[in-house]
Amino acid sequence: MENPLQLKCLNHVSLLCRSIEKSVDFYQDILGFFPIKRPGSFDFSGAWLFSYGVGIHLLQSENPESMPEIRRINPKDNHISFQCQCDSMGTLEKKLKELNIEYVKGTVEEGGIRVDQLFFHDPDGNMIELCNCDNLPVIPLPLDSIQSCSQTNRNVRLQQQLQAQKIEHPVQI
């Protein structure tokens, strides 16, 4: 498996905030993150939170008034996606309504598989997605379906990695 930078996993996502307090409350109370110790040597305001194997580092904006306006919810915009473990996305939708959080629903259907999505903003306009994404399998693309050389090279590497994993962990029948 090719890993030139010797990456191990996603460690954290850093987000610029208008108000650390409002953002901490949101990520704790709505998304279930918990505060963790942040190095005291930093000379700027912020907070670190952790859950689901990833950190959220909240950084206080030096000029909150100059931060971009919160735009309308657009599922095609940058976002962080959380896979949910609920029986019904309707339950999550009901909870968002109770919390007065504006959201947009989305659905992806492919080969009889359906993925439901809910998109909403944190207090600073960073978009969050909740989904039952585990319904959708990860399937490497065939080489002939790629037009771009750079994408082809990436897919060749991905197929080699997946093939190597199959060899390392053969399925017993």
The two tokens of residue 53 are: 């194997």
Beta strands in the chain (DSSP E): 12-17, 34-36, 46-51, 54-60, 79-83, 103-110, 113-121, 127-131
- Catalytic positions: 129
The two tokens of residue 118 are: 């809910």
The two tokens of residue 34 are: 């918990």
List beta partners, residue 106.
117
CA distances from 101 to 91, 93, 167 (A): 14, 9, 47
Q: Could you give the CA distance from residue 89 to residue 50 in angstroms, rounded to a whole number?
A: 24
117 CB burial (10 A radius; 0-12, 13-18, 19+): buried
